């Protein structure tokens, strides 16, 4: 169980409040579509949850561990088990899909292996397994610079999974993709949530969120204004997205 209470965050020289009072409870296996008008703080919320940005205040507990006040262990847990997929998958275009996925294992790999570039066969098999799981086994040896946007997103997801991600925070994972690739990425994420208990919070367009997410959050004025499961947004709730 992930519990966030009273998360607040101000940004910039003027310290403009972006997140005022965010609170939620989230279970494993949920796929949350994060919605809100431009500038409503969606990316800021993901960055705070990934601990890329410092919280001004708030409580953050994951499976009973106090992440912010509980010492170093909580932060290590988030860095190990939570993956932040930035906009336009951050991959090395000159390396193969396989190598890019293997980079996800660096955190668990001894320094000498990283320096010598030696890969354990277990790591290699693990990376190939994940590429297969997301349907990219046949592209494993292609440089990611030659892959389509959708395929690059898949590599980024495989890298997160190989890293042992239990939670993926995805900042516009389907932006710029054609409708078919976007749907295919969403289907993959939904399947992973259902089958392996992965939890995903993703900034995605409303129509995909309504089709694939198990829960919708609408951010407005620094709060989760609407938290909706099992139904589409009403026209009044949609109005907050404009
Ligand atoms: N580094 C920064 N310095 C100053 N202001 C910032 C910074 N980063 C974000 N902001 C401001 O914080 C607010 C929230 O930004 P954020 O990127 O979280 O919104 P968003 O909902 O993800 O927007 P979009 O949908 O347009 O990507 C915006 O008004 C933005 O201009």
pLDDT of residue 109: 54
- For ligand 1, the distance from its centroid to the CA atom of residue 88, given in whole angstroms, is 17
Residue 42 Cα to ligand 1 midpoint, Å, equals 8
d(CA 119, CA 143): 18
In this structure, are residues 59 and 49 in contact, taking their beta carbons and an 8 Å threshold?
Answer: no
Going along the chain from its start, the domains and CATH numbers come out as 2-239 (3.40.50.300)
* Residues lining ligand 1, Cβ inside 6 A: 11-12, 18, 36, 38-44
Backbone angles phi, psi at 63, to 5 degrees: 45, 45
Q: How far is the CA of 205 from the centre of ligand 1 (A)?
A: 17
Strands (E), 109-170: 167-170
pTM over 0.95: no
Q: State in Å: Cα 109 to ligand 1 middle.
A: 35
240 pLDDT above the threshold of 90: no
Start-end of H helices in 2-116: 42-49, 72-81, 97-102, 111-116
Question: Is pLDDT above 60 for 224?
Answer: yes
Residue with CA at minimum distance from ligand 1 atom 26? 38
pLDDT of residue 134: 86
Where does the pLDDT of residue 138 fall: very low under 50, low under 70, confident under 90, or very high at 90 and above? very high
Q: Judge whether residue 145 has pLDDT over 70.
A: yes
**What is this model's ipTM?**
0.96
Residue listed under structure tokens 């193969």: 96
Average pLDDT over residues 131-140: 91
φ, ψ (nearest 5 deg) of residue 29: 95, -5
More confident residue, 85 or 103: 85
Banded pLDDT at 169 (limits 50, 70, 90) = very high
Ligand 1 nearest atom to the CA of residue 47, by list position: 18
Residue 42's pLDDT band (boundaries 50, 70, 90)? very high
Tokens matching residue 136: 């990219």
Secondary structure E strands in the chain: 2-11, 16-26, 31-36, 57-62, 65-66, 82-85, 167-170, 199-203, 215-220, 223-229
| Residue having the nearest C-alpha atom to atom 27 of ligand 1 | 38
């Amino acid at each position: 169980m992930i519990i966030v209470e009273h998360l607040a965050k101000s940004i910039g020289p003027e310290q403009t409040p972006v997140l005022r009072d965010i609170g939620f409870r989230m279970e494993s296996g949920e796929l949350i579509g994060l919605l809100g008008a431009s500038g409503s703080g969606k990316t800021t919320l993901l960055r705070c949850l990934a601990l890329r940005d410092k919280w001004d205040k708030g409580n953050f507990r994951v499976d009973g561990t106090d992440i912010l006040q509980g010492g170093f262990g909580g932060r290590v847990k988030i860095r190990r088990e939570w993956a932040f997929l930035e906009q336009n998958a951050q991959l090395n275009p000159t390396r193969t899909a396989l190598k890019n996925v293997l980079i996800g294992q660096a955190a668990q790999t001894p320094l000498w292996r990283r320096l010598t570039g030696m890969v354990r066969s277990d790591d290699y098999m693990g990376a190939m397994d994940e590429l297969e799981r997301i349907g990219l086994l046949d592209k494993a040896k292609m440089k990611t610079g030659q892959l389509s946007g959708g395929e690059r997103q898949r590599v980024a997801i495989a890298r997160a999974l190989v890293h042992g991600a239990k939670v993926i925070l995805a900042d516009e994972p389907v932006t710029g993709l054609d409708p078919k690739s976007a749907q295919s990425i969403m289907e993959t994420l939904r399947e992973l949530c259902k089958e392996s208990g992965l939890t995903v919070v993703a900034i995605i367009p409303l129509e995909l969120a309504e089709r694939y997410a198990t829960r919708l959050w609408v951010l407005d004025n620094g709060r989760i204004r609407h938290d909706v499961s099992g139904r589409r947004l009403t026209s009044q709730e949609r109005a907050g997205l404009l």
